[in-house]
Amino acid sequence: MKNNLQVGNLGEIKIIKLIEELVLKKTGKDLLRDDSFFFEFKNQDSNRNIVLNSDMLVSTTDVPPQMNSYQIGRKSVLMNVSDLLVKGVRPSGLIISFGLPRELKKYELIELLNGIIDYSVKFNLDYIGGDVNETKELIINPTVFGFKNPSAMIYRKGINIGDILIANNKFGLTGVGFDILLNKKGGSHEFPNYERSIMSVLEPKITGNEAFILSERNLATSSIDSSDGLFKSLQDLMLSNPNLGFEIYFNEDLIDTEAIKYSNEFNVSLEDLVLGGGEEFIHLFTIDPSDFNTAQQEIQSKYGQIFKIGKVLYGEHIYIVKEGEKKELKSHGFEHFNKRT
């Protein structure tokens, strides 16, 4: 069977068989064929809850034209894993459903599946099963789950006035990457000096080390995964913590140097790149000031990193402090059913 065949010529049964064969080849495990899926609670304490996240990838809103099939599959798992990691939860299993356009080529489907399975293996996820259907565009709908004692999870709610806002990476790279890929229709060949920014969009990276340590030591008062931009993520935290806001330090602890360079070279707003980039998958936490040094030492000893990027204020406002001046922010970030701002 030729790999340039369209999936519309394969049919559902052969597509499912292809998925089963790739999963078995890469993991040594068979997918479960049944009406429902089952997962054994291996060595799980009875006081642990199941924690789930289901974040859909849709090709028209989540996939830049330059992203290949392997990268698409990889991203579909990563965006779900990140939401569990930031809570301090180690992912255990994956159920994934596909909406496939009939013109999708078999070789594209194979690369898509390779990206999904490889990234599942990276985080030791059991790929359990899912569903396949025909759609007008590519849709991947994973559900990733893990187990955690609810008292040890880091929730969005719980922030106190005076808490420090910290991040496990710097912002701005995806803002640059999206500007190059979507607005300038370029890539690494045209913009070789911004390879890190471009790859931050096409092949984002995540780590859960920081969240695991903060969760185990009960050091964080809240957490959120920044996937719709820093400003939007802070707004989401404010929704869970009424009457509180943030002051952001607009400096080198917040901003990646590549974003500063790009802003200067192409006269693009640095605030837009940093505050509204989106899909950073950077983990944000709030922490009591007295715990910051302990948290930083513990995290650095496990090869993680945190940056102090702001603090919590009374009042539902977001400010940035830039070159000694403080101003209120109004709107940045991505929202579905709205234009990117």
DSSP per-residue letters across 158-191: ---TTPEEEESS-BSHHHHHHIIIIIS---TTT-
Using the 3D structure, point to which of 152, 172, 198 is the last residue of a domain.
152
Q: Based on the fold, state whether residues 202 and 85 are members of the same structural domain.
A: no
Q: Specify whether the CB–CB gap between 172 and 271 falls below 8 A.
A: no
Residue 71 lies in a domain: yes
What Cα–Cα distance (Å) separates residue 341 from each residue in 83, 212, 216? 23, 33, 37
Q: Specify whether the CB–CB gap between 286 and 221 falls below 8 A.
A: yes
Q: Specify whether the CB–CB gap between 309 and 253 falls below 8 A.
A: yes
Q: Based on the fold, state whether residues 205 and 295 are members of the same structural domain.
A: yes
Neighbouring C-beta atoms of residue 24, cutoff 10 Å? 13
The 10s digit of each residue's pLDDT in 159-168 is: 999 999 999 9
- What's the confidence (pLDDT) of residue 112? 97
Which two three-digit tokens encode residue 203?
A: 């092949």
Looking at the structure of the chain, the number of domains it has is: 2
Residue 335 lies in a domain: no
pLDDT for 1 beyond 60: no
Q: Which domain holds residue 307?
A: 164-328
Rounded to whole angstroms, the Cα distance separating 311 from 309 reads 7
User: pTM above 0.75?
Assistant: yes
- Which among 133, 123, 98, 103 has a CA at the least distance from the CA of 113? 98
- Which among 89, 44, 91 has a CA at the least distance from the CA of 216? 89
DSSP helix/strand/coil, 304? coil
Residue 282 lies in a domain: yes
Rounded to whole angstroms, the Cα distance separating 63 from 42 reads 36
For residue 320, the cross-strand partners are 248, 327
The 10s digit of each residue's pLDDT in 129-187 is: 888 999 999 999 999 999 999 999 999 999 999 999 999 999 999 999 999 999 999 99
Residue 73 lies in a domain: yes
